[in-house]
Structure formats: structure tokens, C-alpha cells
DNA sequence: CCCCGATGCGTATGGGCTACGCTATTTGGC
DNA sequence: GCCAAATAGCGTAGCCCATACGCATCGGGG
């Protein structure tokens, strides 16, 4: 029971733990090279443009050479989703939990904005890559001195991550769509809705439209919602911490 | 300015507003038929299995026939993402906002659990389909008598939807992965982490592991997080409503 | 009754993933 | 020094996919 529980292959892959080899031709690539090249393609041309052939070409190898490093394209996608979070900002220690989590969120979102395609990669399991775990650890650390027990900390962080994944999809993906196709938004949006959503069946929606909320651009104001939705969640966390630390102990 | 501002083609498609035709052969399908068939395929075999050929076969038509109704596969995906929310539960009126939003959330999540692939469809614009707008309207209605102004209501609902999208990805997609591949989770998860995440670089994470939070199954407890994360957000909303209605007016 | 216009669809093109087997390269053991 | 084993690199080919194009087919208006 000391050591050799076999690691799930994908975990080993993410951490670069390949058995040191003796015989045979030397590898000309590393798994990390491949992940980086794939991320570059996705950043430049979108996730749909990531093909084994294109990634291989960027590395100066043939398509099939990649399969010596990666079992399938799905494995490559897994690598990419860890590589996308590779940029780790400086997060100073010793801040109060709310400031720390706000900075953490901003840092994470900044990274995700650089790789908006992460939202399109299906999630196949809990986080196991080194970069994902680093972010997880830093969020837990921010809650270090709140007096919450470890299980509650995980709950709070999971909730926050949950929120951010939604933010990624709605905010970032939506603004990417906006950048590509502004005429679908703009004043047209509210006007199209009135044409189609009659007041009888959608009363609350029509009240919003009548109040002019959708006038002008609907480009999803990052700043506003970032402060808004996240702020509300953190308010809830604050209330939770108070409840927990006043009650027991 | 009375009427004929051209609707964006995709909006017309979603609402079934095609010009009534006079001459020519009769269509054997409707756009709704196609959307339904595509949803059935995705439910049964996953989004990746949705191909024009498979959808057409299920309808007894040839592949190319679909292109008389839909310009591209992307348009079909748009139709699917509205069709996936077609089931509209009874949401009683006259509840307080918090109960109403909780019920709303549960109803929405129940639908999404039946169509977990929705998380993988890229978002290309604001909601325009009839079903999406129905859900939007009902959430706004739940906030009807809170005294918030219309813009704030939209903010709260957007935040909630943001949260739910994350929930969809992390909760639902993750449990789908769990169902397919339980051995990647289970007790193995915590154990794999200790093998790989050394205590020096991930101190907060290791404290959590040491506390036994990851013992047993990590199947992402739907109930727990549903109440947990959502509850925290709603607590924040409650504080917000209080602030807003006490301050002005 | 005929013909215009719309639908249905067969074919072809260009791309994608990946199984398979051959070649090239490296090194451990003798 | 040399061989054999082990490994990397990759060309080929099979299969599936989205979709452009052109022709066959149908149905109602004149």
C-alpha cells in the first residue's frame, strides 16, 4: 500500500509523468509542446479549427506523429483545458477573503478571456491538471482564515467556480459573438423582440422592453455584470460565514 | 415605420415565420420536426452524434433535403438549443420571489438534465427563441413585486442564468461523465491528488484532502450544491433588494 | 393543360479522425 | 563493434462529415 497504485492514464499525461525510456528513437516533441501548439491554434482560429493535422503542421511534424504522444483528440482537448489556465498571476497573501476572491476571480477571467474556447470543451471529470489545481488551491487559500471548515470552503469555491463557468459562457462567449456580428445585437435586439414576443404571452418581458432596458447596445457589459452577479454571490458568502462563525464554536 | 423592418433570418426561423407559399411542391417536413429529431439524437447518443445524415435518416428523408429548411448545421444547433427548453412546467403565480425563483430554477435544471448536451453548443447571441424567452419572462415575473426597477431585475436574472449555466456545465456535465466513467472519481480522486499534488505547492488543497473531504464518492452531489451555491446567490439577492427598497423611494 | 417555382436528393469535393504497417533511429547487451 | 529490440515518424487508406451543385419530381395558378 506504499506506492504503486496506478495513476489514471490521463492524470499521468497531464503531469508529464512518462516512464523514463531507455531504448528506441528519441522523441522530437513533448506533450506540453503539443498542448501549447493546440492552444495557439484555438486562440487564433477558434476551437473548431483545431485539428490534428493543423497542430502537427505547426510543430513541423506529420499528423500521425501526434498519436505517439496523445491517444486521441479528446485527450488533446483535456490537455488544452489545463494549458489554457497556465498563466498564474501574483496573488498577494494576507488579504481579507473577499478582496482575495475578487482578485482571484479577475485573474481567472482575464485568462479565460484570452482563451474563450474553453467553454466549448466538454467536461469529463473533476479537475486533475496542475494548472487547474493551482487555481483551486489559491481560492481555498483565500478562505483560509474565515473559520469555515474544509468542506464548506470547498462548497463555496465550487459555487464560485460554477458561477464563473456561467460567466464564461454568457459573458465571454457572448461578447465574442458580439464582436463578430454586432448587428444582431444593438438596438435591433429590443425591436426584434417586440415584433415577435407579444405582450400577452410575455408580460414581464414586455415591461422590461417598454422600460427601455434593451435600448442601445446590448453588448453584455462585462464590468457591470462582473460586479453585479459576483457581488451578489459574495454577499451571500459573507452572510454564510457570519452564520457559521457565530453559531458553533 | 409601421411594420416591415426585416427580422434577422434566424429569428424568423425560430418562430416559424416563413412566407406562406403558393406554388410548388409541398414541403414534407417542418423546421420544428427537424429540431425535434435532432434533439432526440442528441439525447440518445450525445451532441457529437448529431449529423445531418442521422437526423435526416430519422425523418425518413435524405441528407440534403434538410438544407431546404436549414441553412447550415449551425442553424440546426440554434434550433436545438431552443427546442431543448420546450418543456414548460406549471409555475404558480403569487409566490414570494424567493420561492418562485427556486421553483423556476428547479424546473429549468430538470429540463437541462434531460438535455445535458446544451452546454456544448456555443452561444452566438442573446436569447431569441420562443422557449428561451418564455423562461426569461417567467423569471422576471417572479421578481415582479420586489420593488426593483426593470434594469435591476434583468441584472438579477442574468446573474441567475449565469449561475445556472455554470451549474449545467459543472453539475450536469460532470455527473454525465461520472455515469460513464465512475472509476475516475470515487475514492481514487483524492488518492490520485495526493500522489501528484505535493503539500508544498498546494497547501490549502492538501488541508482539504487531509480533512477527508474527497473521501468516498465525489459524484458531485446535485442536491447539496444546488441548495448551497444557489442559496448563497439568493441570499445576496435578498440583501440587494433590501438595500434598494430601503434606500430610494 | 401546361409550366413555373419549390422540394427531394444523388453525386462529388474537401476535410476530419485514426487503424495499420512500414521505415528510421536509438541504445542495451554481447 | 554489431545485432536485436524498442521506440518514434509517417504514408496510406477507410470511414464519416458538411455542403455546393444540378437534375428529377411534384403541385397549384393561369
Q: pLDDT, tens digit, for every residue of B46-100?
A: 999 999 999 999 999 999 999 999 999 999 999 999 999 999 999 998 899 999 9
Domain interval for residue A18: 9-83
Instruction: Tally the domains of chain A.
Output: 2
Inside any domain, residue A197:
no
Q: Do A229 and B7 touch (CB under 8 A)?
A: no
Mean pLDDT of A8-25: 73
Inside any domain, residue B205:
no
Name the 3-class secondary structure at B95: coil
Q: What are phi and psi of B203, to 5 degrees?
A: -65, -45
B41 pLDDT band, cuts 50/70/90, is very high
Q: Are residues B77 and B32 in the same domain?
A: yes
pLDDT exceeds 80 at position B172: no
Q: Do B171 and A162 touch (CB under 8 A)?
A: yes
Q: Which of A27, A48, A83 is the last residue of a domain?
A: A83
pLDDT exceeds 50 at position A5: no
A197 pLDDT band, cuts 50/70/90, is confident
For residue A109, the tally of other CB atoms under 10 A from its CB is 18
Rounded Cα gap, residues B213 and B226, in angstroms: 18
Q: Are residues A44 and A107 in the same domain?
A: no
Residue bearing the bigger pLDDT, A6 or B34: B34
Q: Which of A83, A111, A142 is the last residue of a domain?
A: A83
Chain B closest-CA separation from residue A201 CA (Å): 8
Q: How many Cβ pairs within 8 Å bridge chains A and B?
A: 241
- B106: CB within 7 A of chain C nucleic strand: no
User: Which residue blocks in chain B are alpha helix, DSSP H?
Assistant: 9-14, 31-45, 52-58, 73-83, 97-114, 130-142, 150-167, 174-180, 186-196, 203-210, 222-246
Inside any domain, residue B193:
no
Contacts of A196 in chain B (CB under 8 A): 7, 11, 15, 128, 130
Rounded Cα gap, residues A3 and B133, in angstroms: 55
B46 to chain A: nearest residue by CA?
A: A122
Inside any domain, residue B162:
yes
Rounded Cα gap, residues A74 and A68, in angstroms: 14
Amino acid at each position: 500500500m506504499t506506492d504503486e497504485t496506478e495513476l489514471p492514464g490521463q492524470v499521468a499525461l497531464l503531469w508529464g509523468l512518462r516512464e523514463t525510456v531507455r531504448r528506441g528513437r528519441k522523441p522530437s516533441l513533448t506533450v506540453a509542446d503539443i498542448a501549447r501548439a493546440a492552444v495557439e491554434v484555438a486562440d487564433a482560429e477558434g476551437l473548431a479549427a483545431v485539428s490534428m493535422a493543423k497542430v502537427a503542421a505547426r510543430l513541423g511534424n506529420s499528423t500521425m506523429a501526434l498519436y505517439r504522444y496523445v491517444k486521441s483528440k479528446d485527450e488533446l482537448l483535456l490537455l488544452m483545458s489545463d494549458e489554457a489556465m497556465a498563466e498564474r498571476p501574483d496573488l498577494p497573501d494576507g488579504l481579507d477573503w473577499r478582496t482575495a476572491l475578487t482578485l482571484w476571480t479577475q485573474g481567472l477571467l482575464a485568462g479565460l478571456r484570452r482563451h474563450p474556447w474553453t467553454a466549448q470543451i466538454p467536461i469529463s471529470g473533476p479537475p486533475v491538471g496542475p494548472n487547474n489545481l493551482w487555481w483551486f488551491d489559491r481560492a481555498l487559500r483565500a478562505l483560509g482564515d474565515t473559520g469555515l471548515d474544509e468542506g464548506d470552503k470547498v462548497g463555496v469555491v465550487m459555487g464560485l467556480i460554477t458561477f464563473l463557468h456561467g460567466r464564461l459562457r454568457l459573458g465571454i462567449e457572448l461578447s465574442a459573438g458580439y464582436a463578430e456580428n454586432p448587428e444582431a445585437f444593438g438596438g435591433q435586439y429590443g425591436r426584434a423582440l417586440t415584433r415577435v414576443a407579444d405582450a400577452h404571452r410575455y408580460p414581464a418581458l414586455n415591461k422590461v422592453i417598454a422600460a427601455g432596458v434593451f435600448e442601445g447596445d446590448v453588448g453584455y457589459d462585462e464590468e457591470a455584470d462582473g460586479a453585479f452577479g459576483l457581488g451578489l454571490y459574495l454577499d451571500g458568502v459573507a452572510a454564510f460565514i457570519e452564520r457559521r462563525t457565530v453559531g458553533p464554536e
